[in-house]
Each structure stands twice: as structure tokens, then as C-alpha cells.
Amino acid sequence: MQKVNRWCVVVLAAILAIGAGQAWAGDCPDEQATDVPGRVEASTRAERCGIGLKIFGIGGTIIGTRCPRHEIATPAHATCAGEKLAGHRCVKKGLVPVSRRECSCKGLVIPLIDTGIPTSCRCGAWKRFGTVENFETLECDESRGPVTGGDGGGPAPTPRRRSGWVPRLGL
């Protein structure tokens, strides 16, 4: 009796998995990836660099340019924002790196005691800060896997990117 119950559970799970896979694989959301332009964002906290005086890090300038504490650079990428395109699907392509750099007033300032005249804003090297997901638009057929078959005449079909593909089992 216990073997029969296990067998029933296995068969039922397989049928449900196949049915769910077929429903998803046949579904085309008609959605495309939306481009997001690259940008560099400066922190809202900033100091002014120019004519002024700093003594042990205290003080500042009267006239000069704004110097952010840090900047964050996010490269151009794409997101899935629900933008419609018939016969297409928005799929994850990978990750793109986000960078950050620290900035401060430099110039005629003695670094160890932070005293002098801060004449200009200088930023350090870009360092990896994190990642952001990148997406792409594929035709719904492309998201199901490589194209196979053909009559043997002509070039072989180009393998297509496999993303979100669910295999269908014919029973």
C-alpha cells in the first residue's frame, strides 16, 4: 500500500510539473526591456572648495565650487518596466557593475592635520560599489531554447539564448 501511495505521489507531481511548464512556456507576456541611461549621481552632502581657510578640518570657503562627499556611477542598462511589445518577453541578461568614488577639497591643504586653503575638489579612483540587474528583449520563441531541425540544406540554425526555458515532455 505504501509503494502505491509513493507511486501516485510521483505520478501526480510529474503531471503537475509538466502542466505548469506547458502553461508557462506557452505564455508570452508581450513585454520589452526598457532602456535606462547611464548616470553619475553626486551625494547631497557637500562642501565648498575655493577661497577660504580650514584649520584642523574646521572652517570652509566663501566662494568656490561645490564638492560632493562621493559620486556613484550607474552604467546604461535595461529593466523590465512593463513596456509592451507584441510577441516578445523581457528576460534577465546579467549584472552590470556600479562604481563609487570619494571626493574632497584639496589644494593648499596639509593632509595629516587638514589645515590650509581648500582650492579645488578632487575625487579618487572609481571602485566597485555593487551591481544592477540588466535585462534584454527576446522574441517569445527565442526564450524557449535553441532551434533544431531543418532539411540539411544550408547553414545550421544559430543557437539562441536559453533564458526562462521550461522543457516540455510529451507523454
pLDDT in tens, 74-130: 999 999 999 999 999 999 999 999 999 999 888 777 766 767 777 788 999 999 999
pLDDT of residue 49: 83
pLDDT of residue 153: 39
pLDDT of residue 119: 79
Segments forming the whole domain that contains residue 54:
28-144
pLDDT of residue 37: 97
Structural domain count of the chain: 1
Q: Output the CA–CA distances (angstroms, integers) from residue 28 to 83, 134, 137, 166, in the order listed.
A: 13, 20, 12, 13
Task: Look at residue 159 and tell me if it is in a domain.
Answer: no
Task: Look at residue 18 and tell me if it is in a domain.
Answer: no
Q: What is the mean pLDDT of the chain?
A: 73
Task: Look at residue 125 and tell me if it is in a domain.
Answer: yes
Task: Look at residue 37 and tell me if it is in a domain.
Answer: yes
Examine the pLDDT at 155 and tell me if it is beyond 90.
Answer: no
pLDDT of residue 110: 72
SS3 content of the chain, % helix, strand, coil (to 5): 15, 50, 30
Task: Look at residue 97 and tell me if it is in a domain.
Answer: yes
pLDDT of residue 144: 52
Task: Look at residue 139 and tell me if it is in a domain.
Answer: yes
pLDDT of residue 96: 97
Can you give the length of the chain in residues?
171
Q: Which are the contacts of 64, defined by CB distance < 8 A and separation ≥ 6?
A: 48, 49, 50, 51, 52, 118, 119
pLDDT of residue 3: 53
Tell me the per-residue pLDDT of 49-78, one tens digit each, with 9 for 90 and over: 877 777 766 676 677 888 999 999 999 999
Tell me the per-residue pLDDT of 8-53, one tens digit each, with 9 for 90 and over: 444 444 444 444 433 344 589 999 999 999 999 999 988 888 777 7
Task: Look at residue 158 and tell me if it is in a domain.
Answer: no
Examine the pLDDT at 151 and tell me if it is beyond 80.
Answer: no
24 by Cβ neighbours in 10 Å (0-12 / 13-18 / 19+) ranks as exposed
Task: Look at residue 14 and tell me if it is in a domain.
Answer: no
pLDDT of residue 2: 52
Closest Cα to residue 146, out of 127, 128, 165? 165
Examine the pLDDT at 132 and tell me if it is beyond 60.
Answer: yes
DSSP 114: T
pLDDT of residue 101: 98
